[in-house]
Structure 1
Amino acid sequence: MDARIANENLLGTYLKDRRTRLDPAAFGLSGTRRRTPGLRREEVAQRANISPTWYTWLEQGRGGAASADVLDRIARALMLTDVEREHLFLLGLGRPPEVHYKAAEGVTPRLQRVLDALESSPAFIKTPIWDVVAWNRAAAAVLTDYATLEIEKRNILRLLFCEPYIRARQTDWDNVARFVVAAFRTDVARAGAADYVKSFVEELCRESPEFAAIWSTNNVRTYGEGTKHMRHPVAGVIEMEYSTFAVDGRPDLGMVVYNPATPADVDKVRALMESQSRQRPPPRVEAAP
């Protein structure tokens, strides 16, 4: 590697770049007699409540490693976006910042159209606490008709442990339940949502001794991909291969797609969708603007 690149002050270069992109007028500061664009170093330091000398050293690569608290204050001072703040932490500490969970606000129409394009593959969007916030026609026909459920009931764990008809559809409920709880625990930890779900977990423990027993094992795992066999009351057993996907730019959302494993399974899914279409219009989720 070129020695100049290896010794480059990446953190300082990034801080200077973000600083010079800011408009002083937006902060009520005079834009006259400024030799360079953007805010001055001492102005950023004042907004971040740190020493101007310390901030100057950071930009010059002489200040040593900054703490997470200092980087967080600098991120706010520079009005960084979430992805810019993450990049700042990666440069300054070699790791992303601690996450603070925020409830999902739904999906965009574009993301809903992605779901709808998967015509014979049941697919849905879930939050880190496993609330289902969007789905396609195949999911409504094969998994469950989420549109008929109250919003607070559209949680995968609540359905699995508290709804007998969902339990009856699992060909191996015990293993499915253990899998789901372990993956839920992992997602909650990654999202920094442990405090957020505390009351929900306590409620499930009261309503389902089986959930309480599995939760107490403290097992963790990722959702990943695999094969699922579901026992549908009309179509019989349907074999599906599932995969999970992150939604870029939306760390609060994940997509799960079930692909019918064989042509016969595809036919079963399509038959269920046709049957549901004859009964009533297909359900849709209200998408966020």
Structure 2
Amino acid sequence: MEQSGNERLNELAQFLQTRRARISPEQAGLPNRGRRRTPGLRRGEVALLSGISVDWYTWLEQARNIQVSAQVLENIARALQLDSNERKHLFLLALQQLPADLAPAESAISPSLQRFLDLQGTSPTMVMDQRLNIVAWNRVASLIYGDYEGMSARERNSVWRTFTSPYIRELLQDTWETHARHRLAQFRANYGKFAGDPWWMAFIEELNQASEEFRTWWPEHDVLNGPEGVKINYHPAVGRITFHQISFFVSDAPHLTVTINIPSTDDDTISKLNALLLT
């Protein structure tokens, strides 16, 4: 195993040991059978509470390279009474991925983040949740992509709108298919965290009914994360405008992604956007 893998497993082992040491049998709902040489739960008790064998749990604390399922990690997280940050840390160390939360995370953004969006000026900036719903935006984003404030929740879903909105097709013109495939691949990557969830299943079925392209491309299983790079739009009022995209997760809300469309300096995009903002 590579050194980085060994370091990760050692970190996992030490993390489990420290979390185990801080919980008493009484806190875990177990009888206290007298004085202990070391504080906290024994390995066998954690294994019992997690519904796994003592050997299996011991191997984790010995930094052995074993395969562990998400369900086992969930059981261990409950047994060790991990908070949300500790649970995420456990999954990243053990599986190198975040846990999939069945309940959708809170999509409200902080006033500070909204102010950040508003300060982007001529850069259309949006915040999306894991379902690719647009949950926040700045004024120039609404002027280009549509009146988000007046849209229904379904219309604010960027996948739904990409595949069903004539305005978006006209805005993107010959780049629509590239954009649509990219957006679909982002949606597919997120779906992997929630496969089988009723909201996702119903939404996918509705899109299958609403869009022939979605129905054709969904079975291809393309997955992708990240921004689109250069993005070209054809706005009905100002014509062709060009952007370079960057995206990042919100540090205190990692289920939210901020995407900033930075106007190109190679054409007159900025002057067009300034004119649009004056309308």
TM-score scaled by length of structure 1: 0.76
3-state SS of paired residue (2:182): helix
Aligned CA-pair RMSD: 3.4
Question: Structure 1: which amino acid aligns with 2:202?
Answer: S
Residue in 1 that maps onto 2:128: 126
Instruction: Determine the C-alpha separation between the residues in 2 that align with 1:218 and 1:70.
Output: 27
Relative to structure 1, is the Cα distance of residues 269 and 19 closer, same or farther in structure 2, using a 3 angstrom cutoff?
Answer: same
Residue in 2 that maps onto 1:99: 100
Match of 2:50 among 48, 51, 56: 48
Residue in 2 that maps onto 1:81: 83
Match of 1:241 among 241, 244, 250: 244
Q: Per-residue deviation at 1:265?
A: 1.4
**Range with bigger deviation, 58-67 or 79-88:** 58-67
Instruction: Determine the C-alpha separation between the residues in 2 that align with 1:26 and 1:182.
Output: 44
Instruction: Determine the C-alpha separation between the residues in 2 that align with 1:59 and 1:217.
Output: 37
Provide the aligned length of Structure 1 versus Structure 2. 268
TM-score scaled by length of structure 2: 0.78
Residue in 1 that maps onto 2:276: 272
Residue in 2 that maps onto 1:61: 62
* 1:227 has 2:230 as partner: yes
Identity of aligned pairs, percent? 36
3-state SS of paired residue (2:204): helix
Query: Which deviations, in whole Å up to 9, do the C-alpha atoms of 1:140-192 show, x marking residues without a partner?
Result: 12222200111222111222222222222113223332332233223323x33
Relative to structure 1, is the Cα distance of residues 155 and 40 closer, same or farther in structure 2, using a 3 angstrom cutoff?
Answer: same
Q: Per-residue deviation at 1:219?
A: 3.4
* 1:145 has 2:154 as partner: no
Q: Per-residue deviation at 1:260?
A: 1.0
Instruction: Determine the C-alpha separation between the residues in 1 that align with 2:185 and 2:132.
Output: 12
Question: Structure 2: which amino acid aligns with 1:186?
Answer: A
* 1:204 has 2:207 as partner: yes
In the alignment, structure 2 segments of 5+ residues that lack a partner are 1-5
Instruction: Determine the C-alpha separation between the residues in 1 that align with 2:208 and 2:60.
Output: 51
Question: Structure 1: which amino acid aligns with 2:104?
Answer: A
Relative to structure 1, is the Cα distance of residues 135 and 79 closer, same or farther in structure 2, using a 3 angstrom cutoff?
Answer: same
Highest RCO, 1 vs 2 (Cα 8 Å, sep ≥ 6): 1
